[in-house]
Chains A and B, each alone.
Chain A
Amino acid sequence: MDKVIEAVNVSYIYQTKYQKTKALSEVSCSFERGKVYAITGKSGSGKSTFLSLLAGLDVPTEGTLNIGGEDMRKINRDIYRLNKASVIYQAFHLFPLLTVLENVMFPMQLQHVSTKEAKVRAQEYLKKVDLPETLYKKMPSMISGGEQQRVAIARAIASGGEILLADEPTGNLDSQNERVIVDLLCKLAHEENYAVIVVTHNEAVAAAADIVYGMSDGALSVVRE
Chain B
Amino acid sequence: MYSYIIKNIKRQKSRSILVVLVNFVLVVLLNLYFGLIGNYQTQLHDLAANMPIKCMITNPDGTMEVGIAVSSDTLRELQAAEQIRDLDCSTQLKAGFGEFEKAYWEGNLNLDVSVVNKIDSTVLPENIKVAYQEGWDETLFARAEKVCLLRKSDVEEQGIAYGDEILFTVYYYRYDDRRRDVDILELGHVYLKVVGQIDDSDPVESWEYPDMLVPFQTVWDAFEERQIDFTAEAVSFYVKDPLALNAFKEEMGQIGEYGLMEIYKGDGAKFSYKGSALYVQDGIFITMASRLKTAIRILTAFFVPMGILVFIVGYVISHLLANGRVKEFALFRSLGVGAARSVWVFWCEQLVLVLAGNVLGCLAALFVNEQGIREILTVCGAAFGGYMLGTTIALFLLAKEKPLELLASE
User: Chain A residues in contact with chain B, CB under 8 A?
Assistant: 48, 51-52, 55, 57-58, 78-83, 86-87, 89-91, 93, 95-98, 102, 106-107, 109-110, 115, 159, 167, 172
Contact = CB atoms under 8 A, between A and B. Distances in A.
Nearest to B406: A93
Contacts of B335: 81-82, 86, 106-107, 110, 159
Contact of B404 (A55, A79, A159): A55
Interface in B213-256: none
A124 B80 CA distance: 94
Contacts of A81: 333-336
A6 to B, nearest CB: 20
A159 B336 contact: yes
Interface residues of B, number: 25
Contacts of A93: 327, 330-331, 334, 407
Contacts of A106: 4, 335
A110 B408 contact: no
B337 A95 contact: no
B402 A57 contact: yes
Contacts of A58: 402, 404
B408 A89 contact: yes
A95 B3 CA distance: 14
A57 B336 CA distance: 9
Contacts of A82: 335-337
Question: Which among B1, B330, B333, B404 has the highest number of chain A CB atoms within 10 Å?
Answer: B404
Contacts of A78: 336-338
A176 to B, nearest CB: 21
B334 A80 contact: no
Nearest to A90: B410
Nearest to A83: B336
A80 B333 CA distance: 11
Nearest to B330: A93
B385 interface: no
A89 B336 contact: no
B4 to A, nearest CB: 8
Contacts of A110: 1, 335-337
Contacts of B11: 97
B7 interface: yes
B110 interface: no
Contacts of B3: 109, 115
Contacts of A80: 336
Interface centre among A57, A58, A79, A115, by most chain B C-beta atoms within 10 angstroms, is A57
Interface in B310-367: 327-328, 330-331, 333-338
